[in-house]
Amino acid sequence: MPILVKDFTWTQTLKSVHIRIPIDPVYKENIDLFTTDSYVKAHFSPFLFEIFLFDEVDNKNCKCIIHDKEIVLNLIKKEEYEWSQLEKILSKEEKKELRQKNLNASQDDAKKESEEKFIKKNELNRFAVQKAMDIDSKQHLLMDKRRDEERRQAMDNLENWRLKTENRTEIISATSSGVKIKELNSSDDEDKNESKQETNLEQPKPEASKNLKPARKLITSSYVDKKKEEMARRVLPQLRQTQSLEITHTPRSFPTPSRESAAEEEETWLRNITMARRATGFASEDLRPEEQDPQWCKEKGDEFFRSGNFLGAISAYTHGITLTDKLPSLYANRAATHFALGNFNKCANDCSSALDLMKPVCEGNRRSRAKCIARRAAALARLGYLNKAIDEMKAAAKLLPEDEKIKQDIYDMERAWEQNPDSD
């Protein structure tokens, strides 16, 4: 139970409130501070300072300074006037309600702030990507411009070279017809000289017909003709009918294929597992056919539970659940066994499963429902959820108002919650 700090001092002005909280230098490294517009809490184990402010303050502009021997809180008022007192006068229930309200509001603000940061981060990322794409586009445009300029310059150089070559020489090619080639200079001598240049044409001589090659004769083969006839007379067999083939495999306890080299290791493993199951109470392969009954498994589990063999009881209840998951007593009794072993999470889950199966709600299952709810409340209390456990236990008390044990449990839980209200 925390020790409440009462020896604090405070002063105020029209605009602000100053609170000084004494602390031990030993605990100043582990101070948990939580503030809202109307609530301040400082927890430095085992000490606790908690106050519900008289009026609202501007939490965003408030400051906290931690010295070696004290905590100084500078709170800025939202309205400028002098407070008649520092703390509101509230009952215990009102403090509980305001504490939960402030916690929910703080969580909502934190969630909203986180979402805003996430949206802003995404916008910055998109802006950065857009800028990178713009820079990349400019680089590509610059590279394309340089490439086009170099291509245009190369084409201009090629065109200039072609024009110079045409102006320099004129070539007449007629080698196939026997025409002699004469090179004409493109100088000024052509315009001055009036003499004409003659070209000697040589007529080609006709070739003799004896030089012509005779046409090829086709060569036939009797073997090739015979093979072609055989292929034409060949009769192909009919297509085979399709059928489906069903393959069944021997059931195995291992996912890997059976191998003779690993057979001895597999048998040893199965034998060890069977011995371990027998050590916990029973093995399913040892049961007779008439014992494969969920009710028998429940009775067997109850017998193990009464004798103190909790692992055997859990094995029996679990085997019964594998046979049928519609029997609520299997879940309820297994929950009691888990509670005895300290498995409080599993106990709460089994109680919830049993309550789901106890429908419709009627007088016949009222006592069983009350026991399940009370056991789940006890498990929640062991897990530290005192608030929820008290509500559950009160619900069980409504079903069994004459049960004194449930009333005593409610009283003990409320006293424990008063000593440690932040247990949830």
Give residue-wise pLDDT tens across range 287-303.
666 667 888 889 989 99
The mean per-residue pLDDT over the stretch 31-40 comes to 85
Quote the radius of gyration of the chain (alpha carbons, Å).
50
DSSP states along 29-84: GG-EEEE-SSEEEEEETTEEEEEEBSS-B-GGG-EEEE-SSEEEEEEEBSS-S--S
CA distance 192 to 143: 54
pLDDT: which is higher, 145 or 193? 145
CA distance 232 to 225: 11
Exposed e or buried b for every residue in 100-128, given b needs 16+ CB within 10 A? eebeeebeeeeeeeeeeeeeeeeeeeeee
pLDDT: which is higher, 30 or 210? 30
Amino acid 172: pLDDT: 44
pLDDT: which is higher, 316 or 283? 316
Q: Strand 47-52 relative to strand 3-4: parallel, antiparallel, unpaired? A: parallel
pLDDT above 90 covers a percentage of the chain that reads 22
pLDDT in tens, 311-343: 999 988 998 898 888 899 999 999 999 999 999
Give pairs for 319-327: CB < 8 Å, separation 24+. Answer: 319/282, 319/284, 320/294, 320/295, 320/296, 321/294, 323/292, 323/293, 323/294, 323/297, 324/294, 326/357, 327/294, 327/295, 327/298, 327/357
Conformational region of residue 415, where left means phi above 0, alpha means psi within -120 to 50, and beta covers everything else: alpha
Q: Which of 6-10, 76-80, 174-178, 243-247 has the lowest mean pLDDT?
A: 174-178
pLDDT in tens, 159-174: 888 888 877 755 544 4
Cα 285-291-296 angle, rounded to 5 deg: 125
Residue 46 CB: number of other CB atoms within 10 A? 9
Amino acid 180: pLDDT: 45
Amino acid 280: pLDDT: 59
Q: Is the pLDDT of residue 196 over 60?
A: no
Q: Strand 39-44 relative to strand 47-52: parallel, antiparallel, unpaired? A: antiparallel
Q: How confident is the model at residue 368 (pLDDT cuts 50, 70, 90)?
A: very high
In order of 226, 267, 277, 282, 397, the CA distances from 272 in angstroms are: 76, 9, 9, 14, 48
Amino acid 207: pLDDT: 46
What is the H or E stretch that residue 149 is in? helix 92-168
The DSSP output letter for 360 is S
The mean per-residue pLDDT over the stretch 266-295 comes to 72
The mean per-residue pLDDT over the stretch 277-281 comes to 63
Q: Is the pLDDT of residue 216 over 50?
A: yes
Amino acid 228: pLDDT: 85
Identify whether the C-beta of residue 38 lies closer than 8 Å to the C-beta of residue 105. no
Identify whether the C-beta of residue 71 lies closer than 8 Å to the C-beta of residue 48. no
The mean per-residue pLDDT over the stretch 91-108 comes to 85
CA distance 184 to 193: 13
CA distance 35 to 19: 13
Q: Give me 278's structure tokens.
A: 């027998």
DSSP states along 269-330: HHHHHHHHHHHHT--GGGS-GGG--HHHHHHHHHHHHHHT-HHHHHHHHHHHHHH-S--HHH
Q: Give me 220's structure tokens.
A: 């036939």
Q: How confident is the model at residue 1 (pLDDT cuts 50, 70, 90)?
A: low
DSSP states along 161-189: HHHHHHHH------GGGTBPP-----STH
Amino acid 422: pLDDT: 55
